[in-house]
Amino acid sequence: MSENLVEIDLCAFIPHGETVKGKTKARCVKCGFVSIPTKGLPFRKCRIKGIVDTASKSGKIIKSTCSGSHEANGTLFSKYVGNSTLPVCLKTGVITGARDLHWPCLASIAISCVRQGLGLAVADHGLKEWQREELMGIGVQWVHHEQPSLSKELSRAKNDPKAWWKPWICKASPFNRSVWIDSDAVITGDLSYLFKTALKKPCVSTQKIWRKDSYNIYSKLVEATFLDDIVWEDLGQVNSGVVAWRRNNDLIDDWCTWCEHIMNSPDLSSLTIVRDQSALVMSLIYRRANGKPEVELLGDEWNTPADNLPAGLSMERSPISNDPCRIIDEARSRHSDAKIVHWIGSVKPWSIASE
């Protein structure tokens, strides 16, 4: 155990600004929640069942019982955005899907949306109750989407079905204009360009740092499906981490169709490396081959790989804060030209936390 972490009963009231035995972190012995005081704020305590924690003026601790989750009521977000909340208007918003481990990035996305006056819709793929309550406290909308099943072949390969669900989450967006952002990314700039562009045509992020490898990633899948005379190499740079579109644009329908096609074809699924992203690339090639409107391929600043390292070198990335506000500041300072920083690959912020 870290010398700066002490195990205590966080169901107890911790007086404002007090640390515990000189430590800088505390873990609840009853539910495992780790609390970190910031800028003189107290340790956050676990929520209690039917009892209100109080303390005398002398700071005497009054004990109560841990229920295994934590106080929400917007307490975490109030440190960063005060009493501000997400707008009720459904015109423009960010949409994503996340589980509990994604919290540092998901919470930072929520903070950025509040600051930019954007809505936020989330597909809950395994958030904890206290995380849900924090998000509900600032007005997050929950996305309920179709969950297509995998083919028997993909299921036997222990493929994660959630890795294919992205276009169906997008299809269920409550916003007139939406921007999908992966929940292992952080917003570091103004998103207004994406929403403005989405009025005219969809746009998708690219990963030009992969340029030399992109052909190899999709080539077998493309060769098994399309004729040789289709020019598609520029589409091989596409990354599905950021997608912007307007309601009722048929790009999302085409994306769903290609996901289903690959998921139910043993031959095609065996050639697929990047799952929903491969299906997006295939749908874009299909649209080009059939004379459908092109999408805008976004510049590097809209999907900057963390530390400017591709997925294959993600093990070399530097640790970063898991505080939802600090992670924005640190990502911005490391990537001055980026609008969105994306931890593409296996190494995520929560696996290399600096605190």
**What's the rounded mean pLDDT across residues 300-318?**
91
Report d(CA 341, CA 349) in Å as an integer. Answer: 11
What's residue 57's pLDDT? 34
Structure tokens given for 226: 């399309």
Q: What domains does the chain contain, in order, with CATH numbers? A: 1-71 (no CATH), 77-302 (3.90.550.10)
Q: Which two tokens stand for residue 328?
A: 């924005």
Burial 318-331 (b: 16+ CB within 10 A, else e): eebbbbbbbbbebb
160 versus 14: the higher-pLDDT residue is 160
Among 27-41, 133-147, 264-278, the least confident range: 27-41
Q: Rounded to an integer, what distance in angstroms lies between the CA atom of residue 350 and that of residue 355? A: 10
Instruction: Express as a percent the part of the chain with pLDDT over 90.
Output: 50
CB 276 within 8 A of CB 257: no
Give whole-number Cα distances, 314 to 182, 304, 311, 355, in Å: 17, 13, 5, 19
Q: Which is higher by pLDDT, 219 or 51?
A: 219
- How far is residue 246's CA from residue 262's CA, in Å, rounded to a whole number? 25
- CA 79, distance to chain mean position in Å, is 21
Angle at 165 between CA 164 and CA 167, to 5 degrees: 105
User: Over the stretch 13-32, which tens digit does the pLDDT of each residue have?
Assistant: 333 333 444 444 444 444 44
For residues 310 and 119, which has the higher predicted lDDT (pLDDT)?
119
* Per-residue pLDDT at 73 exceeds 70: no
Q: Put the strands of the sheet holding 340-342 in their side by side order.
A: 185-187, 340-342, 304-305
Mean pLDDT of 48-70: 33
